[in-house]
Amino acid sequence: MAEKIVLPASVEGQAIENAVQRCILAECGAAYGIRERIYVCSRCGGPLEIEIGSVPAAKRGAELRKLWAARAASHDPRDISGVWRYRELLPFEDGAAVVTLLEGHTPLYDAPRSAEYCGLAHLRLKHQGCNPTGSFKDTGMTAAITQAVLLGARTAVCASTGNTAASLAAYAARSGLQAAILLPYGQVSAAKLAQSLDYGAAVCEIEGNFDDCMCLIQELGDDPAIYVANSINPFRIEGQKTVAFELMEQCEWRVPDHVVVPGGNMGNSTALGKGFQELLALGLIDRLPKLQVVQAEGAAPLARLFAALTPGDLRGGAHLPSRMATVENPSTLATAIKIGAPVSWQKSLRAVVGSGGSILSVTEQEIADAKAIIGRDGIGCEPASATTVAGMKKLVAAGRVRREESVVGVLTGHVLKDPDYVSRYHHGTLAIGEKNGAASRPIASTFANVPERVAASKAAILENLARRR
């Protein structure tokens, strides 16, 4: 893919000229116009991705870096947005009316306790949960809803475990579009659903699981008034890829050895991979970080597929599998990645293999403990995000990541996305399995922080605090 990227004609112009939507399947490779309302290849049904247009060779690396850095002082909403400030590499015209909630600009934290827990000298965590609706989805949704408005859609629809829904609802509200949200009934944290309701979305609770919702969405996509903003939507990937650009600015353009991300629908790893690839092709970085994708054990179809790849598959990457065995009834308390049939698995696999990274899975216990450790760094995240630290601990223990290597973990959602989980962990009542049934498996609260009853006196409080110091 890298060699197809050419630089924009003017640094102030966007990479829109010659931009196409391209089928990613090597045997097809069909190209479609950038404003064509399609979500998969019309010829073969394969996934699409955006190929950005041309930018002149004279404006490589340093020029773009300078331009992006200069925008830090600007008050133009597009410059304040951590997505649109990189608009040279986004498939929109210069004057396009963007739908923004000033997403991006998320912090990159040092996480010393998490580093120690993993067995690393240093670990940095990029907190995408600090976006307007509390998850990384916002960086992609700003691009997708901007495209929906350009196409004249009336309703934007998605199927979601929660974070995508909240994001879609907010951006649709911002743009005046109707948001329609299909959710698996009873499988979504109340906090997440509350957000979508507050933003005015039409929420449809479907009797089925997430994958059933995905099928229905594909049918709805035939209606010309409806715009599908699911993970399958290549414009969301375009917005999300800017996380790679922002991260590299924050790293002062020194490429980390590893970037670790949770794996659910695989849009996040796909987007990061694409972002880094484009930076490499444009001469802004000189190598790729290894992408490490971490799934929850009960929803890990791609980790299983990856484990079965041969060294030849990993070296060449040209003949990666065209099929993946899905997980019928995915199971994890990390609801944001409870997905048995991830839509972006092919793109993600290609990005991971191309970077020399890997895809692995971690247990519910490992996720819960890692989450508590991240909290001790003063950083709150939702359960799915903690797969990054859990996965890194596993990679270090296996000798696949060395102590001194530089690692960035991407946290995908805010701690308040699932406060019930947090409370249960610390109170020792977290469990996975049958609801209210004997079949449920308890999660040990290894790093529990339990509230204690203390007498109503200064002396008692001081004694208690001293004991817990």
Q: Which of residues 260-279 bind Zn ion (CB under 5 A)?
A: none
Compute the least distance from the CB of residue 349 to Zn ion, in Å. 17
- Asked if 389 and 373 count as a contact pair (C-beta separation under 8 A), the reply is yes
Among 165, 162, 192, 160, which Cα is nearest to 420's? 192
Report the distance separating Cα 417 and Cα 413, nearest Å: 7
Q: Is 30 in the site for Zn ion (CB under 5 A)?
A: yes
Closer residue to Zn ion (CB): 28 or 70: 28
Which pair of tokens denotes residue 80?
């304040």
26 binds Zn ion (CB under 5 A): no
Question: For 101-111, b where at least 16 C-beta lie within 10 A, e where not — what string?
Answer: bbbbebebbeb
Among 41, 158, 165, 299, binds Zn ion (CB under 5 A): 41
Half-sphere exposure of 436 (CA within 13 A, CB side): 0
Q: Which range binds Zn ion by CB under 5 A, 36-44, 249-257, 356-364, 430-438? A: 36-44
Q: Which residues of 32-51 are buried (b: 16+ CB within 10 A; e: fewer)?
A: bebeebebbbeeeebbbbbb
Q: 29 or 224: whose CB is closer to Zn ion?
A: 29
Among 10, 12, 43, 190, binds Zn ion (CB under 5 A): 43
Q: Which is closer to Zn ion, CB of 38 or CB of 80?
A: 38
Distances (CA, A) of 381 to 178, 277, 303, 373: 29, 28, 23, 11
Q: Which of residues 340-399 bind Zn ion (CB under 5 A)?
A: none
**Are the C-beta atoms of residues 76 and 258 closer than 8 Å to each other?**
no
**Closest by alpha carbon to 443, among 329, 337, 297, 330?**
297
Strand 178-184 relative to strand 407-411, pairing = unpaired
Nearer to Zn ion, 43 or 403 (CB): 43
Per-residue mark of binding to Zn ion, 165-204 (x: CB under 5 A): ----------------------------------------
Applying CB under 5 A, does 23 fall inside the site for Zn ion? yes
Question: Contact region for Zn ion (CB under 5 A) — 19-27, 192-200, 291-299, 368-376?
Answer: 19-27
Binding test (CB under 5 A) with Zn ion, winner from 2, 10, 36, 44: 44
Segment lying near Zn ion (by CB under 5 A), choices 25-33, 271-279, 298-306, 329-337: 25-33
Find residue 159's DSSP bridge partners. 182
Applying CB under 5 A, the span of 39-47, 179-187, 389-397, 417-425 interacting with Zn ion comes to 39-47
28 contributes a contact to Zn ion by CB under 5 A = yes
Shortest Cβ distance from residue 38 to Zn ion (Å)? Answer: 10
User: Which 3 state secondary structure label does DSSP give 171?
Assistant: helix
Q: Which contiguous run of DSSP H or E holds residue 62?
A: helix 61-70
Determine the interface stretch with Zn ion among 23-31, 77-85, 161-169, 297-305 (rule: CB under 5 A): 23-31
Task: Out of 6, 22, 40, 46, point to the residue binding Zn ion (CB under 5 A).
Answer: 46
Bridge partners (DSSP) listed for residue 158: 181
Residue type, 409: G
- CA atoms lying within 13 Å on the CB side of residue 335: 25
Stretch that binds Zn ion, among 45-53, 88-96, 357-365, 408-416 (CB under 5 A): 45-53
Residues that bind Zn ion (CB under 5 A): 23, 28, 30, 41, 43-44, 46
